[in-house]
């Protein structure tokens, strides 16, 4: 009879304690093996998941900021081009002459030809309005802002005066950007004779054409907002048509140069938006998308990692149970054989084919049982010889 069969026959069926001890031993052994084998794997999975999610988030942010940089460069190039056109107008003889009739015609032609500057004023060196296009130019500005003058007309003459950009609150609550360039004497360019002021708008067709030139994903969007967050131009389906403003994070600083990526509120939906302030435009530029869309790959990775971890856990449980049974079987066989030996069963032997420590223990037990059986046999024969029984 094999040792495995002998061990299963050894315990008394009524002895529940022996059965309980054997199962608790196997469970403890399985738990130790499971912890030693599974914990490093799960830890590796967790670290890999965190690194993968961080990299995916980094890619999403970099993609958004790269698009924002491209939009900013194109819009500022357009604004600088329009500013150069304004400077060329200020250097034209019609404007330099400070003739109301000639200047008004030049201003009218300039406004009609462009979509960036919609209102113009020509001021003399004393700050008096020489010409305006339209006649109601700057009427939307508060009185103090409308009467404001460029710095080189308020102080000492500054031959090096250049473009100035100022922002004023408009009557509708939206900021109004006013550009001003110096007007110099035709005969002596070092002499300032006045200033040309222009109201710039960012919701014209020129700016909108630039925004529409970008191909965006399903819920991505590009937007331009004034200093208070009021939307002045947009493109992309991610912004609702009725949206009028974006709730910008309060810690944003217009003086900060590089783009920042933050979570913003978009009509109750959390979006991931890259934001930067453009001084030439006097406005915030945003490139955004729903946070769920931005991190969709991150969620997919988490789902895949979770499924793989679950499969690894199930496989580890099965393998651990099998290994625990394989390792505990010789130990339990040895324990059962010792119980038999304690009960006087000296003929029981263990299978000792392995060369490890358990095999050595089994051989030692067999030698012990054989020695005890031999001594018992000799004692029995001696007793019969001496007592006759």
The 10s digit of each residue's pLDDT in 118-148 is 889 999 988 889 999 988 777 777 776 777 8
pLDDT at residue 288 greater than cutoff 90:
no
Q: What is the mean pLDDT of residues 46-55?
A: 73
Specify the pLDDT at position 258: 82
Specify the pLDDT at position 216: 87
pLDDT at residue 344 greater than cutoff 60:
yes
Predicted structure pTM score = 0.65
The two tokens of residue 389 are 């029984």
**More confident: 338 or 124:** 124
Query: Angle 295-60-256 (CA atoms, 0-180°, nearest 5)?
Result: 125
Say how far apart CA 10 and CA 348 lie, in whole Å: 10
How would you label 123-162 residue by residue, b for 16+ Cβ within 10 Å and e otherwise? bebeeeebbbbeeebbebbeeebbebebebbeeeeeeebe
| 71 Cβ contact partners less than 8 Å away, ≥ 6 residues apart | 210, 211, 214, 222, 285, 287
Average predicted confidence (pLDDT) for the chain: 78
Specify the pLDDT at position 175: 72
Query: What is the DSSP code (8-state) at residue 227?
Result: T
* pLDDT tier at 151, thresholds 50, 70, 90: confident
Say how far apart CA 92 and CA 95 lie, in whole Å: 6
Element (H, E) at 285: strand 283-290
* pLDDT tier at 389, thresholds 50, 70, 90: low
pLDDT at residue 284 greater than cutoff 70:
yes
pLDDT at residue 225 greater than cutoff 50:
yes
Q: What is the mean pLDDT of residues 292-308?
A: 68
Q: To the nearest whole percent, how much of the chain has pLDDT over 70?
A: 80
**More confident: 24 or 73:** 73
Residue 170, CA distances (Å) to 137, 179, 218, 226, 353 in order: 13, 15, 34, 11, 96
Specify the pLDDT at position 246: 79
Express each pLDDT in 347-384 by its tens digit.
Answer: 778 777 777 777 788 788 888 888 887 888 787 777 77
Specify the pLDDT at position 7: 37
Question: 68-77, 88-97, 340-349: lowest mean pLDDT where?
Answer: 340-349
Please say whether the dihedral angle defined by the alpha carbons of residues 304, 309, 312 and 317, taken in this order, is positive or negative.
negative
Question: 143-147, 221-225, 299-303: lowest mean pLDDT where?
Answer: 299-303
Element (H, E) at 168: strand 164-169
CATH classification number, 58-76+206-290, choose in 3.40.50.1970, 3.30.450.20, 1.10.630.10, 3.40.50.2300: 3.30.450.20
Q: What is the mean pLDDT of residues 59-70?
A: 87
pLDDT at residue 231 greater than cutoff 50:
yes
| 280 neighbors 215 (Cβ within 8 angstroms) | no
pLDDT at residue 222 greater than cutoff 90:
yes
Say how far apart CA 222 and CA 181 lie, in whole Å: 30
CATH for the stretch 91-201: 3.30.450.20
Say how far apart CA 165 and CA 83 lie, in whole Å: 10
pLDDT at residue 36 greater than cutoff 70:
no
Domain ranges in the chain with CATH number 3.30.450.20: 58-76+206-290, 91-201
């Amino acid at each position: 009879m094999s040792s495995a069969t002998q061990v299963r026959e050894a315990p008394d069926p009524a002895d529940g304690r022996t059965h309980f001890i054997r199962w608790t031993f196997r469970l403890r052994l399985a738990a130790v093996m499971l912890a030693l084998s599974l914990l490093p794997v799960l830890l590796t999975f967790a670290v890999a998941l965190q690194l993968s999610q961080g990299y995916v988030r980094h890619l999403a942010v970099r993609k958004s900021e790269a698009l924002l940089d491209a939009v900013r460069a194109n819009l500022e190039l357009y604004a600088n081009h329009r500013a150069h056109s304004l400077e060329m107008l200020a250097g034209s003889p019609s404007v330099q002459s400070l003739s109301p009739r000639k200047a008004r015609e030049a201003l009218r032609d300039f406004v009609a030809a462009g979509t960036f500057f919609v209102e113009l004023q020509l001021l003399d060196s004393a700050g008096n309005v020489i010409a305006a296009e339209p006649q109601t130019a700057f009427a939307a500005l508060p009185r103090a802002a409308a009467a404001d003058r460029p710095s080189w007309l308020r102080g000492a003459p500054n031959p090096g005066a250049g473009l100035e950009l100022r922002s004023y609150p408009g009557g509708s609550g939206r900021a109004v950007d006013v550009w001003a360039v110096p007007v110099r004497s035709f005969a002596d360019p070092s002499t300032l004779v006045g200033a040309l002021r222009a109201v710039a708008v960012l919701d014209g067709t020129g700016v909108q054409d630039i925004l529409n030139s970008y191909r965006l994903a399903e819920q991505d969007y590009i937007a331009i907002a004034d200093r208070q967050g009021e939307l002045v131009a947009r493109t992309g389906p991610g912004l609702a048509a009725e949206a009028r403003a974006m709730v910008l994070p309060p810690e944003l600083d217009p003086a900060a140069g590089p783009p920042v990526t933050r979570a913003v509120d978009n009509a109750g939906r959390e979006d991931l938006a890259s934001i930067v302030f453009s001084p030439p435009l006097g406005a915030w530029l945003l490139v955004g998308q729903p946070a769920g869309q931005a991190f969709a790959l991150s969620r997919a990775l988490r789902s895949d990692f979770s499924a793989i971890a679950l499969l690894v856990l199930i496989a580890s449980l099965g393998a651990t149970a099998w290994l625990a049974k394989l390792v505990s079987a010789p130990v339990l066989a040895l324990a059962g054989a010792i119980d038999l030996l304690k009960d006087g069963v000296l003929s029981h032997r263990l299978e000792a084919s392995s060369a490890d420590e358990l095999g050595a223990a089994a051989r030692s037990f067999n030698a012990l049982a054989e020695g005890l059986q031999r001594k018992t046999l000799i004692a029995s024969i001696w007793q019969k010889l001496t007592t006759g029984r």
